[in-house]
Amino acid sequence: MDTRATPADHDEDWIVLTDPDVSGLELERVLGVLRSACLSSGPQVEDFEAEFAARHGRTYGVATASGTLAMSLALRALGIGPGDEVIATSYGWHQAAHAILLAGATPNFAEIDYWSGCISPSAAAERIRPSTRALIGNNCNGHPAAWKALRELADRHGIALIEDSTEAIGSRYLGRPVGSFGDLSVFDFSQPGALCCGEGGMVLTDDPRLATELRYLRAHRLADRRSVSIGSRVPLQAGMSDLTAALGLAQLERLDEILARRKQVEASYRDAMQSFEGLKPPYLGPDVDEVHWMLYVVHLGARFSASARAQIVDDLEADLIEAAPFSALLHQQFAYQALGEAFNCRRGCLKNTERIGDRSLALPFHSQLGPDEVKFLVKTLKDACTNVGAGAAIYL
């Protein structure tokens, strides 16, 4: 039995990995719904869908109970199922690949760009086969993918482009917000995202046919009970409640404020991290206008291994600092191992993914962190890295 303390045991003592930015506005909106006659999907959901879509320059928004369900609906709306392949990455938000399996399709893992962590367009091109139906691009930890090249690739091969924006709300590429590039774009509103509703997700699209299909597959409405075609396809119970949507609307109203506060924490990290020798600055790829990190992620140097990273996490935990590996690589997990090397599901198939995935470390990042806490956190991290890696440098 593990008897170690956790953040849940002593919230007031820990520097936690994530802490949602909630104000009186959120409380007021949620209380308003609790006093209303509608707790399930209703007018708050419709307003949240419309306002979220408008912020991203999209025509339609379809709210869901989770990001995983949002990605599942996106795949189903495209008609993707058994016998189809979808190109994705092994690194980052793991629910994207999980949704592929849940749809009965097969994930085909492509290599990532070493610097951004996003899917590499050239690597994705190598994975396209006759059975490929879609490509999921990832805005990894807030950094936009190379959407211009990915759009050209998808159009050239006649496959759908799905934008995984679960980690990147607020980031901008080529003058546009992430979430505005895919045929379908998926967002997740759970922690540690800047816009946090506890749970929830959203699919954005400009295609009216896809929007109609998404809503049909999400859940049956009361009005659908008289439809003669109601049983043609089985929907999920995947709708968002008005309670969640009210929280989302309040967070959306405050989003610029929340993102600005997180930028202040990022600046504190940047200043404190100068004490590390050999530090590389945060990467901004070509055509990237603005990055809003989901978590503050450092990449440990080449002397470190996955086991060394685990020791650093333990050392930080001893000082009541919550940290974690940024991503558990999917191509090494049992659920995907049966796919074999043909789908890059063996260790050694994805060199960059493993190089980054084994040494990426997520540190606390939220708007409640003050400069002194960041200084203490970075000093403790430096001591832990020195103890484990004999003074080896870390890299952003």
Question: Torsions phi, psi of 261, nearest 5?
Answer: -65, -40
**Percent of the chain clearing pLDDT 70 (strictly above):** 90
Is 90 exceeded by the pLDDT of residue 248? yes
State residue 269's pLDDT score: 94
CA 25 to chain CA centroid, Å, is: 25
> Do residues 194 and 258 make contact, with C-beta atoms less than 8 angstroms apart?
yes
pLDDT in tens, 314-355: 999 999 999 999 988 988 888 888 888 888 888 888 999 999
pLDDT in tens, 35-69: 988 888 889 999 999 999 999 999 999 999 999 99
d(CA 304, CA 46): 48
Confidence of residue 256 (pLDDT cuts 50, 70, 90): very high
Confidence of residue 257 (pLDDT cuts 50, 70, 90): very high
234: Cβ contacts below 8 Å, ≥ 6 apart: none
> Which range has the top average pLDDT, 103-107, 235-239, 391-395?
103-107
Single out the residue of 171, 126, 131 nearest to residue 147, CA to CA: 171
d(CA 95, CA 98): 5
State residue 1's pLDDT score: 37
> Do residues 377 and 321 make contact, with C-beta atoms less than 8 angstroms apart?
yes
Q: How many CB atoms lie within 10 A of CB 151?
A: 18
Q: What is the mean pLDDT of the chain?
A: 90
d(CA 255, CA 347): 40
pLDDT in tens, 75-128: 999 999 999 999 999 998 888 999 999 999 999 999 999 999 999 999 999 999
The CA dihedral of 203, 207, 209, 213, to the nearest 10 degrees, is -10
190: Cβ contacts below 8 Å, ≥ 6 apart: 66, 67, 196, 197, 198, 199, 200
Where does 24-253 sit in CATH, by number? 3.40.640.10
Buried b (16+ CB within 10 A) or exposed e, 187-226: bbbbbbbbbbbebbbbbbbbeeebbebbbbbbbbeeeeee
Domain ranges within the chain, ordered by starting residue: 24-253, 256-395
Comparison of pLDDT for 388 and 80, the residue scoring more: 80
Q: What global pTM score does this model have?
A: 0.91
Q: What's the CATH class of domain 256-395?
A: alpha beta
d(CA 174, CA 65): 31
C-alpha torsion sign, points 105, 336, 347, 387: positive
pLDDT in tens, 261-279: 999 999 999 999 887 765 5
> Do residues 216 and 276 make contact, with C-beta atoms less than 8 angstroms apart?
no
